[in-house]
Structure 1
Amino acid sequence: EDPPPAAKDPAANLDEEALKTLTESMGFSPLRAQKGLINGRGTVEGAVEWLMEHQDDEDIDDPICTSTSVSSQIVQSYKCNECGKVLASMASLELHANKTGHSDFEESSEAAKLLTPEEKAKKVAELKELLKAKREEREEKEKVDDVEREKQRRFMGKEMSKTREQLEREQRKREALKRKKEKEDFKRERERLRAELAKDKAERQANKGKLSSKLGVEGYNPDGVQYDVDEKDAPVEQQNTGTKSKAAPSSSKIDEYISKVASYRAGGDGGKCLKVLVAYVGNAVNKPEEDKFKTINMENKVFKAKVKPFVGAKQLLLAVGFSQSEDGKSLKLRDDADIELLSQTKGKLETAFKDY
């Protein structure tokens, strides 16, 4: 069996003069010059044409592969049908078309005639000019693309700025409307309270300083909010008889008490009261071993400002297990208070405060 033929180096028989022209005169690397001649039909024009098309290929600088197959290269050319000139490469065709304005060409199997040194030098110069023109065209296109990208960037920046400003305006508008609504709600609530207080004042004057028909199973429940009512003036327990005690608020009405507190919207007063109630009941649930959390001082500023004025707040504390001390200055958690009821009420208060 015959041994396989030795690998043939494709660059072995390349035209040394063409290689010199491509490397020294035109600045291509030796490897690229060899690849250009191999794939460009062995001519300088064909090599330049191939290198211009493949200069950005990933494998352009990979070593040339040797081949064991022997193939003959057929020299092809292009013929101008208008003047009959035979052109060795597409680059020569482009130069001829630019110079003459001819546009009718066809492929030809006729080999282009060899160039004289003078013609070769002229052709090299023309190819350099063509390369320069293409490079300038590419650079000009890149400049145009850069300008367009910059315009697009600025446009997008302006649009984003407009969008941000629009969102900020809408946010300011919403906040202004919210403040206006809060002021209006506060004003309406203040007027309502003033009317209730005026009504109660007139009723006291007509009943020697007492409000009639205000004592029920839930204790004292006036129409208006009472801020500075003395204990001796409050209609509790029918003091003149001294025989009946006030009925304790029912735990079944805890939801109703929470709703009453949450209904105070003006100035966020209902939310502030709910927050304090969460703290009172939460401390009793979370730290039952600490005695300080079993007593609520009704004389301190927090209780007077955020609990006492609101109908349903004190009743809720009484309903979950607190009872008023004998001197009327504090609320104390009873020993038999239901811890499960306290825990459930704590959860309801937290939900109401979150939804407020």
Structure 2
Amino acid sequence: MSDYRHAIADRFRPDHGEHELACAREQARMRTGFCRDRTHSGRRSLHAGFWTGGHARDRMPRSKRKVAAIAYGLDFRPMFSRFFKRHPRQPVIERPVWEACAAQMPFLEELDAGSLEKLFDLADRFAEQKDFTGTHGFEVTDSVRAAIALQACLPILRLGLDVYADFVEIIVYPDRFMTPRSVVDESGVVHESVEELSGETMPGGPVVLAWPDIDPAMGAPGLSVVIHEFAHKLDMLDGEADGIPPLNQAARARWIERLEAAYSQFCDMLERVESEIPIDIDPESEAADRYYARLPLDAYAATDHAEFFAVASEAFFTMPEAIRDIFPDLHEMFTEYFGWRESAATTGSGGPAY
């Protein structure tokens, strides 16, 4: 059983750009990142605590400002209104690209028409706000941006784009990338290694993705590296990646209880599966995959609470029955947080809606 698997920013290649490299290294001095790989690690205890947030509104309410302006004869809106007419926003990616990309994602087929339109609009705004950088000669096309944006925005249809305001850049590799690791085990021994990753997220920094693992044409059921990495972004909003996004005190207490219960249940399931693997089969080999296939989630979810939240989030959107049937309390909690509801009961369409 191992500790958090921290990522470091020094792995960025020279062709990433001097400015981005300097920023990533500066962030790495104070922050750690979370990544997506296939190593099976152990469980950790959940650290509680309390999140506090919010700010006071010290500006005069708009309605009062309007009254005050009129009282002093300062309401110039009729005079200038004809010069400041709003024009419809032009999309940055053409509609056929969105539709073609969405058609390659089976988990979007269940969205009702209204939710799909909302997703297209939100994803287009996301694509406009973020910088997509290809490395090692990889060309970032509109199809690439659409594939990333659709999956990144699916969890935030209710939450809104502001939750992704702490970063600008998304880096896309043409293949999985290698990252050096330094892990301290329970005995205090430091283990150095180099790992192959398909995604990585840094607090306040970029999201790094490997195109072969996010290409919708190559996707595997129940898996979405993009949703996984952007779930880490939601988790990190309160400054710590612990599987608990920003919540009020009452909601946080309930979240901790349910997340801990589901995490412990999954770790117990993983231990039973691993105990059934014959001693002549390497648990990290492909021969062991048929044993891990019995699990409702990728075994990587047992790494810690942060990874469990990320893995469970991608399953919630891509294969929701795995969460609903095995972890009903977690499913209810995610439904409330992400704003997902079964439209069969609300709209009669038979698909999910927001």
TM-score range, shorter chain: under 0.3
Provide TM-score, normalisation by structure 1: 0.18
Higher relative contact order, chain-length normalized (CA < 8 Å, sep 6+): 2
Larger helix fraction of residues: 1
Choose between structure 1 and 2: higher strand proportion. Answer: 2
